[in-house]
Amino acid sequence: MKLIFEKHKDGRRGFSYGLVDVGGAKPLPEKYRRGAALPLPCLSELDVVRHYTNLSRLNFSVDTNFYPLGSCTMKYNPKFCERVAGFEGFSQLHPLLPQLSGGGMLAQGSLEVLYETEKLLCEITAMSAFTMQPLAGAHGELTGVMLIAAYHKDKGARRKYVIVPDSSHGTNPSSAAIAGYEVKVIPTGPDGYMDLVEYKKQLNDEVAAVMLTCPDTLGIFNPRIREIADMAHKVGALLYYDGANLNAMLGKCRPGDIGFDVVHLNLHKTFATAHGGGGPGAGPVGVSQKLVEFLPISRVIRCGDGTYALDYNYRKSIGYIAPFYGNFGVILKAYAYMLCLGREGLIKAAEIAVLNANYCQAKLKSYYDLAFDKTCMHECVFSAMRQAKNGVHALDIAKYLIDKGFHPPTIYFPLIVKEALMIEPTETESKETIDAFIETMIEIARLAEDNPSLVKQAPVNMPIKRLDEVRAARKLDLCWKPQN
């Protein structure tokens, strides 16, 4: 496909300016004017419409195809949430509008949304309070670990370590490291659970926190989680719950009830904001009572007269972590989504997410090796080791799926599974769609036996075939220069 610059035709236009109808208007003074025309392509309106429409059709999206990208929860997000987020009363508000009733009431509705969303998330997770400000999951993690650090500092304790199992999401150890901690990694045992003997060995009064991804990146929920939590508390460490994939748990189990002190959620995974391509997202952080005083400012409060206000009066707060109200549109969509589904709907979403993943796992487990043969949560993790013996690697399987109109699952992650294929069908897909995917996966397993080169050639139907991935990363060239 040509770049829009290559479609340029001298003199072609898609617009014309009307005549100046302001009396006495003068042209800009000479010194402010450009010496030469801007090097923009000349195109008709139709040229531009076709160009971008055709480009958009090369995009892969949940709105067009199945997208079982493990850990990312690429589910369908209902369009009504977008509509609500687009309501002018919300989308056109200036972030610096006065909040207090004395200064005008224009921001009251938005503050109420923040306040009510916080209350709903508290109920879903059994935490005491949330900050809605973090702008992504990883940002929530960093905020959460900073809260933990503030707590220990306030108690006068010097703690050095954060414990992270090797089945956690990669952002967990990096968040702990950025917050200034040394990370201790606990291996996964042969049963697929964190090695408890090693855990006990590493746990002492120098440990600030234990960070657990729940369910972990193997798609497994650890049944001994309360024991793990109790052991951490015994040495004075706090418990961190990575709840990015809460759609596996909604209404079934609450981090606060298990004893977690901090939890972050990814609204852009579980609660109806489309993602991929870098945002925007929201990673609100919930805390137990003992951490509330450290939450970032500002906090939304409800005043005695029923109005809402931003409160900055928290002496021990860790301070600002994001401007204004966070990614307000994302929070608003989550609020609309929760109200629409209601309690029963949210529980059902979790049940179907888990059912769909177990269905994939059961249907595929005689064709691919399972990383750990257990009931899974919202995703199932296979290994393509059997196929790799015939030269068909996880990457080849991914490329073949693209040819068939499916987004590949996450591959080569989690790192602890060789040739990993991490499949997350999500709760929004129909049985027919999942069946079509399963059939293609079975077809690939057969081809790996009978005709591996067919898989290794894929994709053959795409505008771009196999890329030199190393060159694409190391010698990325996105610059177009006019040739003349």
Ligand X SMILES: *Cc1c(COP(=O)(O)O)cnc(C)c1O
User: What residues make contact with ligand X under the rule CB under 6 A?
Assistant: 71, 136-138, 169, 171, 213, 242, 244-245, 266, 281, 283
Q: What are phi and psi of 473, to 5 degrees?
A: -85, -45
Q: Which is nearer to ligand X, 136 or 420 (CB)?
A: 136
State the residue number with the nearest CB to ligand X.
137
Q: Which is nearer to ligand X, 276 or 345 (CB)?
A: 276
In the bound complex, what is the minimum distance in angstroms from residue 99's beta carbon to ligand X?
A: 27
Residue with tokens 């809460």: 246
Q: Are 145 and 394 in contact (CB under 8 A)?
A: no
Q: Which is nearer to ligand X, 117 or 387 (CB)?
A: 117
Q: Which is nearer to ligand X, 208 or 218 (CB)?
A: 218
Q: Are 332 and 118 in contact (CB under 8 A)?
A: no
The Cα–Cα gap between 324 and 65 comes to 36
Strand pairing class (380-383; 369-370): antiparallel
Q: Are 125 and 146 in contact (CB under 8 A)?
A: no
Q: Which is nearer to ligand X, 137 or 296 (CB)?
A: 137
In the bound complex, what is the minimum distance in angstroms from residue 69's beta carbon to ligand X?
A: 10
Residues near 70 by Cβ (< 8 Å), separated by ≥ 6? Answer: 219, 379, 381, 409, 410, 413, 422, 423, 424
The Cα–Cα gap between 181 and 162 comes to 6
Residues near 139 by Cβ (< 8 Å), separated by ≥ 6? Answer: 283, 321, 322
Q: Which is nearer to ligand X, 263 or 455 (CB)?
A: 263
In the bound complex, what is the minimum distance in angstroms from residue 181's beta carbon to ligand X?
A: 17
The Cα–Cα gap between 426 and 362 comes to 16
Q: Which is nearer to ligand X, 71 or 440 (CB)?
A: 71
The Cα–Cα gap between 286 and 264 comes to 6
Report H helices in 287-382: 328-364
In the bound complex, what is the minimum distance in angstroms from residue 243's beta carbon to ligand X?
A: 8
Q: Are 314 and 297 in contact (CB under 8 A)?
A: yes
In the bound complex, what is the minimum distance in angstroms from residue 138's beta carbon to ligand X?
A: 3
Among 343, 291, 311, residue whose Cα is nearest residue 115: 311
Q: Which is nearer to ligand X, 242 or 261 (CB)?
A: 242
Q: Which is nearer to ligand X, 99 or 171 (CB)?
A: 171
In the bound complex, what is the minimum distance in angstroms from residue 313's beta carbon to ligand X?
A: 30
The residue ranges of DSSP E strands in 190-284, in sequence order, are 207-213, 238-243, 262-265
In the bound complex, what is the minimum distance in angstroms from residue 85's beta carbon to ligand X?
A: 18
Q: Which two tokens stand for residue 368?
A: 């691919």
In the bound complex, what is the minimum distance in angstroms from residue 289's beta carbon to ligand X?
A: 25
In the bound complex, what is the minimum distance in angstroms from residue 192's beta carbon to ligand X?
A: 17
